Amino acid sequence: MDLTTYIRDIPDFPKPGILFKDITPLLGDPPAFACAIEAMAEAVAELTVTKLLGIESRGFIFGGALALRTGLGFVPVRKPGKLPFTTIRETYALEYGQDSLEIHHDAVKRGERVAVVDDLLATGGTALAAIRLAEKLGAEVAGVVCLVELDFLHGREKLEGYRVRSLIHF
């Protein structure tokens, strides 16, 4: 199945000059969504992990479905102030400013192998922040699995040394 046909371009979203890759048609089509989850599950299986870290917010969709499909634990990685228990934080640079992600301080154990899951790999900053959170807790990050990768933004370069698997490349 050609999953690219389920991703539409939205020009000038969220701001002028950005061509947004909208995955909602894929999510709304059960066979396409199932195909994406199956392919991502194969990528996860190659990593031999016990938990998946899903990045807010669309990483929750794929991470949750993958955790259920693979029998692995799911860990939410969220924007600051959204998790109810004690957290650790990682701040990362954006094109104009900075942002942060948090994880519960007991979400993964020292030595545990985990994978980061998200819908899209762009510049790599968000994925790298999630990796750093897991590593601060002593986990070994086996890789990153994404539905879409925007190759022209070179996010993979920021993740050098980590296995990165993306199903769709633009």
Which positions ≥6 away from 123 have C-beta within 8 Å? 95, 153, 154, 155, 158
pLDDT tens for 15-39 read 999 999 999 999 999 999 999 999 9
> Would the pLDDT of 106 be above 90?
yes
Which positions ≥6 away from 11 have C-beta within 8 Å? 18, 19, 20
* Residue 96: pLDDT band with limits 50, 70, 90: confident
pLDDT tens for 122-137 read 999 999 999 999 999 9
Catalytic residue among 38, 42, 69, 95: 95
Fold of 47-169: Rossmann fold (3.40.50)
Catalytic residue among 38, 46, 56, 58: 58
pTM here is 0.96
89 catalytically annotated = no
156 catalytically annotated = no
* CA pair distance 157, 26, nearest whole angstrom: 27
Bridge partners (DSSP) listed for residue 73: 51
| Mean pLDDT computed over 153-163 | 97
